[in-house]
Amino acid sequence: FSPGDLVLVRNTQNERDLGGKHKPRYFGPMVVVRRNSGGAYALAELDGSLSKLRFAAFRLIPYRARSRISVDITHLLELSPDEID
């Protein structure tokens, strides 16, 4: 995924829970901010707030919007790696 892509995050904890039929299967959509050297992704909510968590690539699913969505992430891309990590 490249910066600016919209993704859904799979809730892997729900897969282990036997009574989790009513729990959300995916979180999102979220915006990709950057990919770390280890392969984990830094994501942000659509309102621009950065997530302090890092997400593995196998948990991310591309989000295909029905209509064209533009999310301004220029202020997120200008952050230093220290501010993101």
Question: pLDDT per residue over 11-67, tens digit each?
Answer: 877 777 677 677 778 887 999 988 988 899 999 988 888 888 999 999 999 998 777
* End-to-end Cα distance, the chain: 18
CA distance 62 to 26: 11
Handedness of CA 22, 26, 30, 36 (dihedral sign): positive
Question: What's the Cα-to-Cα distance from 63 to each of 34, 48, 68, 69, rounded to whole Å?
Answer: 17, 17, 12, 11
Stated pTM of the model: 0.74
Predicted confidence (pLDDT) at residue 2 exceeds the cutoff of 60? yes
CA distance 11 to 42: 16
Q: What is the pLDDT of residue 16?
A: 72
Domain boundaries, the chain: 6-78
Predicted confidence (pLDDT) at residue 76 exceeds the cutoff of 90? no
Q: What is the pLDDT of residue 8?
A: 94
